């Protein structure tokens, strides 16, 4: 499995570099796994966190370069610690022993081969938890197919309907086509959501969308695509945006959402035929929920 890293085409950038030989591509990830934190997280969607919390593993590095990334210290600046595949498997078991609802892999894209090997080891040692794949959505269908049978719940972002906006704010090409094709593959694998008696998701998908200030039309088009293509999936509309990292110096996104913008999206959401999901309340202290990156 790790052989694929000798000419890495794990994500849509298709760098083709030899990560085993320590060459560095767009995401800056090597053949070793790098994580910034593993913890119990209580602030995911209610069907993911439940009462026991979600067993998150935050991976360092990312194949996007979002100027507004709330986790920029690990995604862009690479803060974290390199660990072995065996150690990653042991972390999965430790999380299960805490009694969490699931194992939640946050920004895992660049480590797919290593994660698969770690899941194999963990399952041989008693891992029974559902596995959540928590991704920015910029994924290759071919890579996702490698994950079939290993992932129970997909939690993808669908950030942009506007490719020019994606290029300007996240430095990627063809985001909408790539992300929507990826989401279709995720849905093919896990299908309609399934829950236990306590309302905790055991299999399925939730598509997340972060509403950006001044770009309500972008959000409307994202939600319309979901409505037109897979309106039986769960949707999570997030209003938690706050200007951080480079966004503080970018005029059109250097503020939080206004009440009027939030109400416009809320009203549009209720006019669609989407049956399931969540819309986050407009908050005031979102910065307080960003984890402290101490492994």
What is the rounded average pLDDT for all residues in the chain?
95
**59-82 per-position pLDDT tens digit:** 999 999 999 999 999 999 999 999
Whole-angstrom Cα Rg for the chain? 18
* pLDDT value at residue 231: 87
* pLDDT value at residue 295: 60
Q: How confident is the model at residue 2 (pLDDT cuts 50, 70, 90)?
A: confident
Angle ∠(29,207,117) on CA atoms, nearest 5: 40
Whether the per-residue pLDDT at 283 is higher than 90: the answer is no
Whether the per-residue pLDDT at 140 is higher than 90: the answer is yes
Whether the per-residue pLDDT at 288 is higher than 70: the answer is no
More confident residue, 277 or 90: 90
What architecture does CATH give domain 34-289? Alpha-Beta Barrel (3.20)
Could you give the CA distance from residue 90 to residue 122 in angstroms, rounded to a whole number?
Answer: 7
Angle ∠(51,133,176) on CA atoms, nearest 5: 125
165 burial type by CB count under 10 A (0-12 exposed, 13-18 middle, 19+ buried): middle
**142-157 per-position pLDDT tens digit:** 999 999 999 999 999 9
């Amino acid at each position: 499995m790790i052989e694929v890293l000798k000419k890495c085409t794990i994500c849509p950038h298709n760098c083709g570099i030899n990560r085993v030989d320590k060459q560095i591509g767009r995401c800056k990830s090597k053949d070793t796994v790098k994580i910034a934190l593993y913890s119990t997280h209580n602030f995911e969607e209610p069907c993911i966190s439940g009462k026991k919390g979600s067993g998150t593993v935050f991976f360092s590095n990312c194949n996007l370069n979002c100027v507004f990334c709330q986790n920029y210290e690990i995604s862009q600046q690479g803060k974290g610690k390199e660990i072995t595949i065996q150690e990653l498997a042991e972390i999965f078991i430790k999380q299960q022993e805490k009694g969490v609802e699931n194992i939640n892999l946050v920004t895992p894209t660049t480590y797919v081969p290593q994660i698969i090997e770690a899941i194999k080891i963990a399952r041989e040692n008693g891992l029974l938890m559902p596995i959540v794949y928590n991704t920015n959505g910029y994924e290759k269908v071919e890579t996702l197919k490698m994950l079939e049978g290993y992932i129970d719940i997909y939690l993808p972002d669908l950030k942009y309907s506007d490719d020019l906006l994606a290029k300007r704010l996240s430095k990627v090409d063809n985001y909408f086509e790539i992300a929507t094709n990826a989401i279709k593959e995720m849905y093919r694998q896990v299908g309609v959501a399934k829950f236990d008696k306590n309302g905790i998701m055991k299999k399925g998908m939730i598509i997340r969308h972060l509403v950006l200030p001044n770009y309500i039309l972008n959000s409307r088009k994202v939600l319309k695509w979901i409505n037109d293509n897979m309106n039986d999936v769960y949707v999570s509309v997030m209003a938690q945006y706050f200007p951080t990292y480079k966004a503080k110096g970018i005029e059109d996104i250097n503020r939080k959402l206004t009440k009027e913008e939030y109400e416009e999206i809320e009203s549009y959401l209720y006019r669609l035929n989407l049956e399931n999901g969540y819309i986050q309340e407009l908050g005031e202290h979102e910065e307080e929920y960003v984890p402290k990156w101490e492994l």
